[in-house]
Amino acid sequence: MIFRTALAFLAAATMATAKTNFVLIFCDDLGYGDLSCFGHPTIHTPHLDRLANEGQKWTSFYAAASVCTPSRAGLMTGRLPIRNGMCSSKRRVLFPDSAKGLPKSEITVAEALKGAGYATAMVGKWHLGHLPDYLPTANGFESYYGVPYSNDMDRIAGKGPKGREGLMKPKSEYWNVPLMHNTEILERSPNQAYLTRNYTNQAVAYIEAQAKSEKPFFLYLAHSMPHVPIFASGAFSGTSHAGRYGDVIEEIDWSVGQVVKTLQAQGIDEETVVVFTSDNGPWLPFKTHGGSAGHLRDGKGSTWEGGMREPTVFWGPGIVETGIVHEMGSALDIFATFLDLAGVALPEDRIYDGASLAPVLAGRGHSPRQEMFYYHGSELYAVRKGEYKLHFTTKTEYIGQKPMKHESPVLYHLGEDPGEKFDVAKENPKVVEALVQLAETHKGSFTPPESHLEARIPRGEN
């Protein structure tokens, strides 16, 4: 199903006013099974557990893609990356030598809210273009503090052990990543052990400042962790039963607690919706430095469930009804949801791939999302409708296998088999036929534009 320009529900107008604030907390490479409220036995996340108990825990919530850049493009625009050139099968993410970023023709959720009178700020990892024309400040955010791409990029030649060993025994000086304020580089090779804490301090300061303003605000807090190389500050280093990775997740949980504590201290918690989710699944080849997809199959980079289904929590006293939601949702829906809660109409000049979840958050309706399209780069690998998911091509990521194109697509019932172990295509030929037709209709509904991920800065100019 393609969700078009009109908002699906009018009920949201009675749930929240245009004064509703939004805090979107986004992790990098967090696995479905990495939080205690999603089943991890040794990582303790009491602050997120509390939010899940007081708000809504979504058990079937999807990232827009299985790697960083296209996933974030979908989050920011409410549109599949295949529609706006923010995906590629040749270069699957943006790099420090990338010449482009999110197209200017795209409307971000920050731009839409800013146009409706919201204050906007971003803290953390952007990864939608590091050049001035593509930074957060060119995409609706009034301020930006953070690292513009992944923390393992800009590796300095000759620094530290080569290859994966340097990622498993990391030091911040191995990477020349920039820490930025707006469009200026504050420093290179910042101490990554303090990234989570610094991001948190920036977020808290922003909330405190905005609480004194009459303007509602949108804060996008995008952590660089737990993308490798992983670092935790001294207060958390060596404290988790789950080792270094557990230290990192527990510090992110602390960060969530600081944000919520600040909202409460400023008396604006009942005017604010907080969303916590991630860009894609765990980076499994890094063993104990990567996360866990729990009972789901595979991880980051793949279109198996472990690559795109994310642990997700919505919280907002008086706005979000307590409960567990087993229906489908996606980061693609956040754009429409925030605009709906803010009383802002969706732009009418383009097709959206998300719809408002506001009625579900209020406990007044079902999710409008019945379908999910799983892209690997620019190629559609799988499609889900209801409980059934059909794979046309499968690939286990990051360990060398080539894509396997299935002459006869494989089918899984995700209700009975969320781990995608048992192919039920032969028993359900009509379901297979219907999903094949759904995929063909979807692919025939648009012409993909030129990719923005493939253009490179000429050597010597970056």
Among all residues, which ones are annotated catalytic?
68, 127
Cβ contact 272:22 at 8 Å: yes
For 95-216, list the strands marked E by DSSP. 119-124, 143-146, 178-181, 184-188
- Look up residue 108 and give its DSSP letter: -
Residue owning tokens 């309706």: 365
* Cα–Cα distance, 81 to 68 (Å, whole number): 11
- Six token digits for residue 173: 């000086």
Residue owning tokens 């719809």: 355
**Residue 299: closest CA among 421, 163, 397, 428:** 397
* Cα–Cα distance, 80 to 214 (Å, whole number): 34
Q: Which H or E element spans position 206?
A: helix 195-211
**Residue 76: closest CA among 30, 122, 107, 117:** 107
3-class SS at 21?
strand
* Cα–Cα distance, 137 to 130 (Å, whole number): 11
* Cα–Cα distance, 262 to 269 (Å, whole number): 8
Cβ contact 16:268 at 8 Å: no
* Cα–Cα distance, 196 to 227 (Å, whole number): 12
Amino acid at 272: T
- Look up residue 456 and give its DSSP letter: B
For 15-94, list the strands marked E by DSSP. 21-27, 56-62
- Look up residue 284 and give its DSSP letter: G
Residues 6 or more apart in contact with residue 76 via CB below 8 angstroms? 102, 106, 108, 109, 110, 128, 139, 335
Amino acid at 164: R
3-class SS at 249?
helix
